[in-house]
Amino acid sequence: MRILMLNPNMTEAMTDRLVETAARVASPGTVLSRATAPRGFPYISSRAEAQIAGAITLEMLSERQGQFDAAIIAAFGDPGLVAARELFDQPVIGMSEAAMLTSLMLGKRFGIVSFAARMAPWYEECVEMHGLMGRCAGVFCLDEPFTSVADVASEKSEALVGLSTKAIAGGADVIILAGAPLAGLAAEVAHLVPVPLVDQAQAALKQAETLAALKPHKARAGRFQRPPAKPSHGLARVLAARISHDDDPSSGGKHG
């Protein structure tokens, strides 16, 4: 099965980190491909940036249709997830969604632990969007400067372990170290944290495999059926084609 790790951020090193971490738990037979945002931001950290990056995510998925059995939107916060799930035929999974759902099987409440206070509102809204506030012990973020997004996992490793302890005191039974730059950190610090840790990239890979194995067909009814063909102006060509149904040879195109 072909899984696409789609990084809505522009930083290649982050994609490397996500793919390498995920690959460690891939099943035999899983082929993991990758994509890094060609435009947008080095690292998304606000809801304004996520609004824009979510639209770019749709462009990236349009370009890769037919090339994956399931795709992962690999930014915690899941930019563009609902739109993508509506628009595309193959399963699309959010990295935070996957981490949260996986953590639910290991405890009553998960705690989200991350490295920068400004991500908290976005992450909280992500938890709400998924309807999981009742099973979330909170979003716990460091509020101190760091040198670079690339190295924040190692630089702040100890502080994040400390913050995990606070999350546990606050009711967390499982910890998610959140934000693409922290992919892979869980394995390194698991022995220092007294509750299970869920790695977001690995959880996402396994959940993508799950959906690819189950092969659900695209909804033809309900909230996630494909929207009817719609003309547009000024969009990336492949995305416009997806939206106008001109990507669909059998349809002959709905709008000329």
Contacting a copy of itself within 137-176 (CB under 8 A): 168, 171-174
Q: Residue 216 Cβ, how far from a copy of itself at the closest point, in Å?
A: 4
d(CA 99, CA 199): 7
Q: Of 12-20, 94-102, 141-149, 154-162, which part binds a copy of itself (CB under 8 A)?
A: 94-102
Using CB under 8 A as the binding rule, whether residue 112 contacts a copy of itself is answered as no
Using CB under 8 A as the binding rule, whether residue 102 contacts a copy of itself is answered as yes
Q: Of 11-19, 140-148, 153-161, 235-243, which part binds a copy of itself (CB under 8 A)?
A: 235-243
Alpha-carbon separation of residue 187 from 14, 25, 97, 134, 153 (angstroms): 17, 12, 20, 27, 12
d(CA 223, CA 235): 24
Tell me the two tokens of residue 82. Answer: 């609902």
For residue 122, give the nearest of 174, 62, 53, 190 by alpha carbon.
53
Q: Of 13-21, 145-153, 218-226, 246-254, which part binds a copy of itself (CB under 8 A)?
A: 218-226
Q: Pick between residue 28 and residue 249 the one whose CB is nearest to a copy of itself.
A: 28
Contacting a copy of itself within 12-41 (CB under 8 A): 25, 27-29, 38-41
Tell me the two tokens of residue 240. Answer: 């416009």
DSSP 160-220: HHHHHHHHHHTT-SEEEE-SGGGTTHHHHHGGGSSS-EE-HHHHHHHHHHHHHHH-PPPPS
Using CB under 8 A as the binding rule, whether residue 97 contacts a copy of itself is answered as yes
Contacting a copy of itself within 187-216 (CB under 8 A): 190-191, 194-199, 202-203, 206-207, 209-211, 213-214, 216
Q: Which run of H or of E encompasses 140?
A: strand 136-141
Contacting a copy of itself within 67-86 (CB under 8 A): 80, 82-86
Q: Residue 254 Cβ, how far from a copy of itself at the closest point, in Å?
A: 14
